[in-house]
């Protein structure tokens, strides 16, 4: 069972709800099982994969054991089993934001819960994370996830897939969670809404939806819709009604430059200039030992910001 969708679309909130079901355990940010799988389904070389995981912040935080007697499929299944055993629950799921079509290369009968949020809110949120310098580039993660959904859905049967709108989850959480539980094969449990008792997340708040209407300028709304209007409409979202925007080549170049400079400044402010340069140089020169050391330092700093 996999929860898929764009980053900043509410997957953390839904994951917390799901993991508070008495029978359901959940792995967060499980991309490390598909990032090294190729589009044509070739599985990674295990020695290279072990090395890659050594500097993978999210995997390292899970403290999963690596059994080097396993093949790749057995290994990634063991990660799920370890999480399920830790939580002492009957069922297990995981969240995957990118390349989630590759999950079928490992689990052909995988089932998908696709969480959809208004792409204009996702674009705005990506700026706050330091991932994008403007909403025009900020909507790319949403576009990639929703386009991937279009490719995935025809490949699977109807009972392998269900869609959930973030806005519905916020405004009618018990009803939406009941439908998700039915898809999984469980009874809804009110404990799923008790996540606020032991996490930093609050109860669902309708003020969290359609924030783009208040927090984006008209120009920003037009920029997002210039890239995403067709997909927004296909997902059931109304457009703003503002005049459409046609970007010239120079406008696109300026937006990309703005995005690049914003991300550079963000990383320099977070990690410091010396560490930023060390990461860039060690990566460009492919000095693996130095790059590994630098990555571990940046990850320690990142952890402090995510607490």
**Topology of domain 2-215, per CATH?**
Rossmann fold (3.40.50)
Lateral strand order in the sheet of 161-165: 24-27, 91-96, 2-4, 112-116, 161-165
Contact call for residues 148 and 100 (beta carbons, < 8 A): yes
- pTM value surpassing 0.75: yes
Q: Where are the domains of the chain?
A: 2-215
- Give the model confidence (pLDDT) of 69-124 as tens digits: 999 999 999 999 999 999 999 999 999 999 999 999 999 999 999 999 999 999 99
Mean pLDDT for all residues in the chain: 95
Contact call for residues 118 and 221 (beta carbons, < 8 A): no
- Give the model confidence (pLDDT) of 257-292 as tens digits: 999 999 999 999 999 999 999 999 999 999 989 999
Contact call for residues 191 and 20 (beta carbons, < 8 A): yes
């Amino acid at each position: 069972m996999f929860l898929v969708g764009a980053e900043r679309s509410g997957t953390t909130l839904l994951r917390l709800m799901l993991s508070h079901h008495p029978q359901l355990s959940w792995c967060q940010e499980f991309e490390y099982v598909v990032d090294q799988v190729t589009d044509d389904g070739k599985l990674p070389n295990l020695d290279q994969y072990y090395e890659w995981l050594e500097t993978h912040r999210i995997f390292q935080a899970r403290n999963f054991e690596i059994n080097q007697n396993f093949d790749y499929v057995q290994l990634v299944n063991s990660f799920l089993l370890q999480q399920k055993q830790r939580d002492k629950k009957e069922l297990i799921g995981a969240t995957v934001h990118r390349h989630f079509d590759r999950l079928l290369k490992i689990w052909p009968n995988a089932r998908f819960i696709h969480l959809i949020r208004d792409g204009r809110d996702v674009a705005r949120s990506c700026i706050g994370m330091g991932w994008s310098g403007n909403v025009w580039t900020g909507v790319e993660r949403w576009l990639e996830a929703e386009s991937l959904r279009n490719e995935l859905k025809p490949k699977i049967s109807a009972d392998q897939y269900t869609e959930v709108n973030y806005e519905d989850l916020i405004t009618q959480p018990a009803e939406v969670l009941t439908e998700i539980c039915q898809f999984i094969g469980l009874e809804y449990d009110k404990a799923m809404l008790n996540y606020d008792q032991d996490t930093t997340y609050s109860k669902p708040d309708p003020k969290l939806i359609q924030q783009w209407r208040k927090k984006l300028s008209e120009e920003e709304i037009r920029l997002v819709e210039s890239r995403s209007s067709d997909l927004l409409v296909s997902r059931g979202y109304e457009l703003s009604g503002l005049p459409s925007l046609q970007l010239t080549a120079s406008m696109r170049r300026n937006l990309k430059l703005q995005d690049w400079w914003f991300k550079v400044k963000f990383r320099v402010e977070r990690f410091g200039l010396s560490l930023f340069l060390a990461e860039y140089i060690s990566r460009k020169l492919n000095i693996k030992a130095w790059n590994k050391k630098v990555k571990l330092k940046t990850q320690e700093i990142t952890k402090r910001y995510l607490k």
